[in-house]
Amino acid sequence: MTPAEYVATAGASDLYEITSSQIVLETTQNSQLRSFAKMMITQHTKSTADVKGAAKRSRIAAPPPKLTPLQNELVTQLSSESGPTRDAAYIAQQKAAHGQALAVQKAYAMEGKAAPLKAAAQTIVPVVEHHIIMLKAM
């Protein structure tokens, strides 16, 4: 994965996490899920800033993140649900998305070509792992 591909992929992942979490916050009555979604917004906003800063230090362009077609589909699906059905869909989507995010972050943390981006990925890996542990408990 090139540095530019990593920046784009990580940015899309964070944007999806933030967007889907904002959607679930609109309606969830589940306090545990509400806390988790708020944490997702905060921590994925931070990781976006970290990657953007690392990209700048690496002299890699960091255009604004864009959702992939699949992520757009998932956001649309989540928006069409409500109540406990939305909550369940959100949890299922988060489990899958975090598994994918972990794979990307681990791969770049081990084999990334741009040192600042590699360091950012290394700090993001344990955060994503913690999110996965939390999701398994839901």
Closest alpha carbon to 66 in 2, 13, 121 = 13
pLDDT tens per residue, range 55-97 = 999 999 989 999 999 999 999 999 999 999 999 999 999 999 9
Query: What is the phi-psi region of residue 81: left when phi exceeds 0, alpha when psi lies from -120 to 50, beta otherwise?
Result: beta
pLDDT at 96: 96
Assigned token pair, 27: 């309606």
- Listed in sequence order, the DSSP H helices in 1-138 are 3-27, 31-57, 69-80, 83-111, 115-136
- On whether the CB atoms of residues 94 and 71 are closer than 8 A, the answer is no
pLDDT tens per residue, range 92-130 = 999 999 999 999 999 999 999 999 999 999 999 999 999
- On whether the CB atoms of residues 13 and 5 are closer than 8 A, the answer is no
pTM, entire model? 0.93
Fold entry, domain 3-136: Ferritin (1.20.1260)
CA distance 18 to 31: 18
Query: What is the phi-psi region of residue 83: left when phi exceeds 0, alpha when psi lies from -120 to 50, beta otherwise?
Result: left
